Homo-oligomer: A and B are copies of this chain.
């Protein structure tokens, strides 16, 4: 197997998107967000999504030329309309507005309606921590898991991501779905023909299953039972109900619903840490916390205790230098897409 340079892969994806009429800036952001996920080992949110994005553009389900506009711009509060644009583009534009206001007012809570799947939450958190902001990112998603007590998918795996500057090389970046595992991981397992661990999901009859395909026909489960179920619903209320986006059943499935846009909603809360403590003081305290964590006695078989985001950062550094190795089927799919849209595959060798 050969590895591909991440920048070349991003350029390839960007060109795929521009070939459909997507403006350059939008195409670049979306391509970056996909390759960012692949670099961090979150393959489920990586370039594997290019095809479905292109298909949704072709069928009028995403407007690649959309602008993101304010519905309400009220100091530290904002509500934006994504115009049914690419989720990552909508997310970045909303984040930029949110960060600018957090720097001005100390905090900003900003909701977004009429968006689409926006990739990993970590992509936004990293941008915020670079500006010395703490960030909470919420998004809803289409129905994939039963609420506690329910027999079929009702809630999305509605993710929450949270991050802080640390003063270390690696920021604290927690990015998690409210399911026990991300549905994308089951999609990848199914693509690879692998089984999944018991407890991740139920089949279409609500019975526990280890078969990835059966799980895709069924449902993933919330983490911690009613806790994950309640947290997912709370995220949906902030991201969807409060913003005017879809919520529950009215967030459309990207893979299955070709009649209406997804109408995904996001919610960002950015906090300027410098308003609470001197930035240097904050960094020292976080650094001290991290030192204490790492000095803890370790469980058997654990070489090092990591904080949220460290493992992904290490994977990203390795993949950035060694290149990305894509599954053969995914590579074949991308080459075919390139051929359909007139974008030559950049070749596999690392530059």
Contact = CB atoms under 8 A, between A and B. Distances in A.
Interface in A196-248: 206, 223-224, 226-228, 230-231, 233-234, 236-238, 241-244, 247-248
Nearest to A163: B234
Given A230-B174, A241-B286, A76 B297 contact: no
A289 interface: yes
Contacts of A93: none
A68 interface: no
Interface residues of A, number: 72
Interface stretch (A4-12, A48-56, A101-109): A101-109
Contacts of A148: 305
A151 B297 contact: yes
Interface stretch (A275-283, A319-327, A335-343): A275-283
A180 interface: yes
Contacts of A249: 292
A302 interface: yes
Contacts of A304: 149
A194 interface: no
B77 A305 contact: no
B147 A296 contact: yes
A270 to B, nearest CB: 10
Contacts of A292: 154, 248-249
A251 to B, nearest CB: 11
A223 B233 contact: no
A72 B226 contact: no
Contacts of A79: 276
B149 A243 contact: no
Interface of A: 72, 74-77, 79, 105-109, 111, 134, 146-152, 154, 160, 162, 164, 172, 174, 176, 180, 206, 223-224, 226-228, 230-231, 233-234, 236-238, 241-244, 247-249, 269, 271-273, 275-277, 282, 285-286, 289, 292-293, 296-300, 302, 304-308
Q: Which 6 residue pairs of A and B lie closest in terms of their CB atoms, listed nearest first? A: A77-B106, A223-B224, A230-B308, A149-B305, A174-B230, A107-B109
11 contacts: A72-B275, A74-B106, A76-B107, A146-B296, A164-B234, A174-B234, A176-B227, A180-B224, A241-B282, A242-B273, A243-B276
